Structure 1
Amino acid sequence: MRCEGKMARIHCKITPLSVYLVVLATYSTLMMLACLENEQLERMAKEHEQETAAPLEEDMTIVRDRRSQHGRWLRSVDDFFRRMGTLETTCSKMVSLGGTYCRRALDNNKVVCLDEDVTLKSNNCTVYSFGIGADTTFDDQMNYYGCDVFMFDPTVNPEAIVSTNLEHERFHLLGLDIYRYNRTHLNVYPDGINENITGEFDTYDNIRRRLGHESRPVHYLKMDIENSEWRVLPDLAKGGKLEGVRQLAIEIHTMDIIRAPTHQVLPLLRHYWQVLEHLTRLGFLRAWYRPNLVVETMYHVPGENRSIATCFEVLYLRRGPVY
């Protein structure tokens, strides 16, 4: 192709309308970019919120579950006892002390952990033993180990207690509760003799005060107080009462669920769990669990041919974080 002649000239005339259109187009473009940027930022924010909300919600669930304010995880009787039997810590040097055979099974024995971080130092340890039922075999062996043992039980005749070291263990006809009072008990012995015993109950703080132990740490605390633990434990968890306790042995009784109406069983178990969670908040972790297989305390699962032991022994070691 061939071009001839002068190059054509293009004349551009700038008018107010053209200026307005250019400015409008530029403004529209900037607004569109700004909107896209805002939408992108909002989308990124939502994505970030979704990514962080799940872990946060999970963490809060763990905290709520750990403290178990409402026990929402507990939806069946099995849930309670399965979790109780799930240990939270281990002991590499566990020993069983005391106990007597009843119905071909060892009863009233307690376990002690000798791991370095929670061990009881011989000749420098104090044991409180609440509830002995005239069986002092555990207390005797703790005394042989070198601990100062103090026994408490308001329901037995001191003369009926067989102990080779009673003078060292300092038995007190005294029970543990959340207030001070006296109560008369009727004891029936195997030989058919009945005897009324007036027992005194007092608070943990008062008992320590009466013994002059306000500043003396209790290293091993044993409680077998026949269902009264549900009143006593919340009180012990307050005000630093368990300060110094390294090992806490409890016989736990939940046999109230046996006679409770079906609709009250789970609320009862949730209440029990909330009480026990007070111990977890103080750093006590379950290291040992043993159900007591006594026919009278077995819970028969409705509609099923099986039973669950409602009384069990638990040893807590103080080695968890306080929260």
Structure 2
Amino acid sequence: MLMTGGEGRMARIHCKITPLSVYLVVLAMYSTLMMLACLENEELNRVAREQKQKTAAPLQDDMAIVRDRRSQHGKWLRTVDDFFKRMGTLETTCSKMVSLGGTYCRRALDNNKVVCLDEDVTLKSTNCTVYSFGIGADTTFDDQMSHYGCDVFMFDPTVNQETIVSTNLKNERFHLLGLDIFRYNRTHMNEYPDGKKENVTGEFDTYDNIRRRLGHESRHVHYLKMDIENTEWRVLPNLVEGGRLEGVRQLAIEIHTMDIITAPAHQVLPLLRQYWQVLERLTRLGFLRAWYRPNLVLETLYYVPGENRTIATCFEVLYLRRGPVY
């Protein structure tokens, strides 16, 4: 670099690199990189927090709607579509959902159940208890849950014992019991595809009594499955009381609302409002809908009056216990 000196002469300035200048340059570069790394980490943390909020918490907008509609005591439910659209609106998500069991009927998979493997609700294979109420002749879900490592206890008052012997589960894990709010016996007529008919006398008992009979008073049920053919409307109000669902992380229910098919037109909406009030009590305990699938069986379709369309009145729902209790 050249400069003009006081006497008009050109002076040359020499730049000397010293250890101190090198240290300062390196320090400046290091500080810049650390600042960028902090900014990047903060962005990654922000994304992680958002992702965790999406997978481990209810959808906030949806929960606000739920609370608002709860305060209206079901007045929001003005049409049949309102109920089923609301049921199909999920309140939380599962990033690791798996389907277990099931058999194909009429080219569609039936009797399968879904399980969420997200960390906050996952089932540990070394410490996992499953209660499966209502199995019919299909124990594929129960078999797979048993292979996963869970202790699976099956209950159905209508099943022939020979059906259970053929499964991979131990006989002592099957109980000829049905779930209800009081204890009684009832005889069922089973009809088989080959035309054979058989009377099966089954016993029904309460959830508390069943746990007591199995010695499970202090044992948590982590996955509770109920396919109890319309009896859920009696059982669910009883289950939400007294901490009976404490420890349940996932609740799988086949919900039946077929009563509206034969009900007089003026009773359809009151029936749906009653159903919603029962299911809403689950939400208050923190159970949020994470999966919904209608069962398109012809006998359970509701024909909308004056319209050329139907609505499936029977559907599968998986609830995850992760929401706020309110």
TM-score range, shorter chain: 0.7 to 0.9
Partner of 2:128: 125
Partner of 2:278: 275
* AA partner of residue 271 (structure 2): L
Once the two structures are superposed, residues 150-188 of structure 1 have per-residue CA deviations (whole angstroms, 9 ceiling, x without a partner) of 000001111123643221771000000000000011111
Preserved CA contact (<8 Å) 2:177 2:204: yes
Partner of 2:315: 312
Which one of the candidate residues 230, 233, 236 is aligned to 2:233?
A: 230
Q: How does 1:128-277 map to 2 (within 5 A)?
A: 128-161=131-164, 163-167=166-170, 170-277=173-280
Helix, strand or coil: the match of 2:280?
Answer: helix
Query: Percent identity between the aligned chains?
Result: 85
Aligned equivalents of 1:62 and 1:144: distance in 2?
A: 38
Partner of 1:101: 104
Distance 1:266 1:304, change over 3 A: same
Q: What 5-or-longer segments of structure 1 have no aligned partner?
A: 1-58
Helix, strand or coil: the match of 1:161?
Answer: helix
Aligned equivalents of 1:234 and 1:220: distance in 2?
A: 18
Which one of the candidate residues 49, 56, 66 is aligned to 2:70?
A: 66
**Whose Rg is larger?**
1
Partner of 2:116: 113
Preserved CA contact (<8 Å) 2:164 2:171: no
Aligned equivalents of 1:169 and 1:142: distance in 2?
A: 16
Aligned equivalents of 1:212 and 1:298: distance in 2?
A: 41
Helix, strand or coil: the match of 1:80?
Answer: helix
Once the two structures are superposed, residues 76-113 of structure 1 have per-residue CA deviations (whole angstroms, 9 ceiling, x without a partner) of 00000000000000000000000000011000000000
Q: CA deviation at 1:130?
A: 0.1
* AA partner of residue 137 (structure 2): A
Q: CA deviation at 1:192?
A: 1.4
Aligned equivalents of 2:165 and 2:92: distance in 1?
A: 35
Preserved CA contact (<8 Å) 1:281 1:322: yes
Aligned equivalents of 1:214 and 1:104: distance in 2?
A: 42
Preserved CA contact (<8 Å) 2:146 2:169: no
* AA partner of residue 310 (structure 2): S
Distance 1:172 1:71, change over 3 A: same
TM-score scaled by length of structure 2:
0.79
* AA partner of residue 293 (structure 1): L
Partner of 1:301: 304
Distance 1:62 1:282, change over 3 A: closer
Preserved CA contact (<8 Å) 2:155 2:176: yes
Helix, strand or coil: the match of 1:278?
Answer: helix
Q: What 5-or-longer segments of structure 2 have no aligned partner?
A: 1-62
Helix, strand or coil: the match of 1:230?
Answer: helix
Distance 1:212 1:266, change over 3 A: same
For these two proteins, the number of residue pairs brought into alignment is 264
* AA partner of residue 176 (structure 1): L
Aligned equivalents of 1:285 and 1:61: distance in 2?
A: 13
Aligned equivalents of 1:270 and 1:62: distance in 2?
A: 14
Helix, strand or coil: the match of 1:90?
Answer: coil
Helix, strand or coil: the match of 2:114?
Answer: strand
TM-score scaled by length of structure 1:
0.79
Distance 1:214 1:82, change over 3 A: same
Q: CA deviation at 1:296?
A: 0.7
Q: In the alignment, is residue 77 of structure 1 matched against residue 103 of structure 2?
A: no
Distance 1:163 1:249, change over 3 A: farther
Preserved CA contact (<8 Å) 1:149 1:168: no
* AA partner of residue 197 (structure 2): N
Aligned equivalents of 1:168 and 1:157: distance in 2?
A: 12
